[in-house]
Amino acid sequence: MRYIPTSPAERISMLREIGCERIEDLFDQVPESLRMDRPIGIGHPMSEPELIEFFNSLASKNGTSGNFFLGAGAYSHFIPVIIDSLISRSEFLTAYTPYQPELSQGTLQYTFEFQTMICQLTGMDVANASLYDGSTAVAEAVLMADRVTRRNKYLIAESVHPQYREVVAAYTRNLGVTVDYIPVSETGAIDPRRVAVDDRTAAVVVQSPNFFGCIEELNSIASAAHQAGALLIVAVAEPLSLGILKPPGHCGADIVVGEGQSLGIPLSYGGPYLGLFATLEKYVRQMPGRLVGEALDHEGNRGYVLTLSTREQHIRREKATSNICTNQGLFALMATVYLATMGRRGIQEIARQNVQKSHYAARKIASLKGYELRHQAPFFNEFVVNTPVPAQEVAERLMQKDIIPGLPLEGYYPDMRHSLLVCVTETAKRDAIDKLVSELDRIR
């Protein structure tokens, strides 16, 4: 085995030194009856060329080389090449959690930079070092609201990503809390007047832009939540929208969570992604996950350490604010490099192109006979189209032309049989959009 540096002769001499005759003696604390008497059954080792061939052949069974207009919580964006170069540096790639700060300043400093930029994007005071993904970040926010308010009722907008809502349901199932849903209005956003908060409500949970791409009226929703003492949790599945949109922190959000995949992370069939979590200074001790803070050494040199660890499971065990240990460190680095490379003006430019291209596509599609935009609320890069035939049928027919036109919504919202969620980012060329439009036009 090429990954094992001890030679057979060395292993024999090491065995002798520790007083073993045979390799099996190493396992003498394992009762004989529990030891395997036959191989695992995976087969023979694969050489490097065989392995590459195997995975190439698997990969070739995937998809088409055509265009897709899928969003729904995972977005196609240009990824600067230098991200992969930098994260491939083994000092980043093959390090563990920075338990020894003196030998982990690289990881600690970029995490501090990451925390800062997530605060700047979301308009919040403090951000943690990452959670698993957007869906689990929403669940963690709900658990945190419980600790902050000591209340046990949640109002979650039906326009929050259906999978995020499912994850919240699974996380809260055994904790004696009630979850109610806020209906989506005709506009595609929720009506702030229908946010029925009472003195048992711990938090109102919304997503903006929401699952349909629509921008929620966060200011009014925040007022509705706060007047009854509830927190406002805002999920952001498309953080590049914050290149243009008012950050939730400037609209009264108490906790902002999100999916950081858009920030330079490949689609990779759903993961690994990057859970974002930011809140107000006053709640910092109730936050889940790791935090990096500034510290000085005895000579007054600036450095960074993991801090406020008394919130965490390795110290507080059953009283910890979360069970999370491993997070998405390397993917926080990807987002940090992305934000640094795109920079202030690049983020604005990407956001501008997403707005322009998606609205171009929406205008064109809405002008087709039999098609219309389902909602009137403003959107960023995703919108729902009502289709002349069931959306699933539209999708099937366009896939024959090597186009995935979007996500049919019936599986998530049974009354939306004729609705297709279409996402258009900066990666969609005008030709591809025009092709989509002309192919849709052939279905009436």
Partner 1 sequence: MKRASANIKKAKTHVVQNEGLLFEVSRPGKTGYSIPALDVPEVGQNELIDPELTRTDDLENMPELSEVDVIRHFTRLSTWNYGVDTGMYPLGSCTMKYNPRINERIARIEKLAGLHPMTPDRLAQGALEVIFRLEEALSKITGLSAVTVQPAAGAHGELAGMMMIRAALTERGNARKKVLIPDSAHGTNPASAVICGYTVDTVPSNREGGTDMEALARMMNDDVAALMLTNPNTLGKFERNIVEICELVHTRGGFVYMDGANMNALVGVVRPASTGIDVMHMNLHKTFSTPHGGGGPGSGPVAVTAELEPYLPYPRIVRVHDGTLGMDFNRPRSIGRIRAFYGNFGVLVRALAFILTHGDEGLREMTEAAVLNANYIAHKLKETYEIPYPGRVMHEVILSDKRQLKHEVRNADIAKRLIDYGFYPPTMSFPLIVPGAIMVEPTETEGREELDLFIDAMKSIAEEAARDPELLKQAPLSTKVGRLDEVSAARKPILRWRPEAPPRTDRA
306: helix, strand or coil: strand
The site for partner 1, by CB under 8 A, has a size of 201
Minimum distance of partner 1 from residue 139's CB (angstroms):
8
Nearer to partner 1, 169 or 196 (CB): 169
> Contacting partner 1 (CB under 8 A), which of 178, 227, 268, 376?
268
> Contacting partner 1 (CB under 8 A), which of 21, 58, 369, 415?
58
Are 361 and 433 spatial neighbours (Cβ–Cβ below 8 Å)?
yes
Residue 343 as a binder of partner 1 (CB under 8 A): the answer is yes
Residue 80 as a binder of partner 1 (CB under 8 A): the answer is yes
Nearer to partner 1, 199 or 372 (CB): 372
> Contacting partner 1 (CB under 8 A), which of 199, 325, 438, 442?
325
> Contacting partner 1 (CB under 8 A), which of 160, 182, 225, 324?
324
* Phi, psi dihedrals of residue 285, rounded to the nearest 5°: -75, -5
| Of the candidates 262, 334, 320, the residue with the CA atom closest to the CA atom of residue 290 | 320
Residue 84 as a binder of partner 1 (CB under 8 A): the answer is yes
Number of neighbours of residue 176 by Cβ within 10 angstroms: 8
Residue 53 as a binder of partner 1 (CB under 8 A): the answer is no
Nearer to partner 1, 11 or 194 (CB): 11
Minimum distance of partner 1 from residue 440's CB (angstroms):
17
Q: Tokens in use for 27?
A: 């396992």
Minimum distance of partner 1 from residue 92's CB (angstroms):
5
| Of the candidates 420, 424, 417, 414, the residue with the CA atom closest to the CA atom of residue 440 | 420
* Phi, psi dihedrals of residue 7, rounded to the nearest 5°: -75, 160
Residue with tokens 């996402």: 423
> Contacting partner 1 (CB under 8 A), which of 67, 110, 182, 375?
110
Residues 188-247 that bind partner 1 (CB under 8 A): 215, 242-247
> Contacting partner 1 (CB under 8 A), which of 141, 167, 205, 391?
167
> Contacting partner 1 (CB under 8 A), which of 202, 206, 222, 291?
291
Residues 12-41 that bind partner 1 (CB under 8 A): 14-15, 17-20, 23, 26-31, 33-36, 39-41
What residues form DSSP beta bridges with 156?
181, 205
In the DSSP assignment, the letter for residue 379 is B
Are 314 and 323 spatial neighbours (Cβ–Cβ below 8 Å)?
no
C-alpha span between 3 and 176 (Å, rounded) = 49
* Phi, psi dihedrals of residue 330, rounded to the nearest 5°: -65, -30
Residues 364-403 that bind partner 1 (CB under 8 A): 378, 380, 395, 399
Residue 173 as a binder of partner 1 (CB under 8 A): the answer is yes
**What sign does the CA torsion over 392, 398, 399, 404 have?**
negative
> Contacting partner 1 (CB under 8 A), which of 67, 134, 384, 409?
134
Whole-angstrom CA distances from 287 to 9, 225, 290, 362 are 52, 20, 9, 40
C-alpha span between 262 and 386 (Å, rounded) = 26
> Contacting partner 1 (CB under 8 A), which of 205, 240, 276, 355?
355
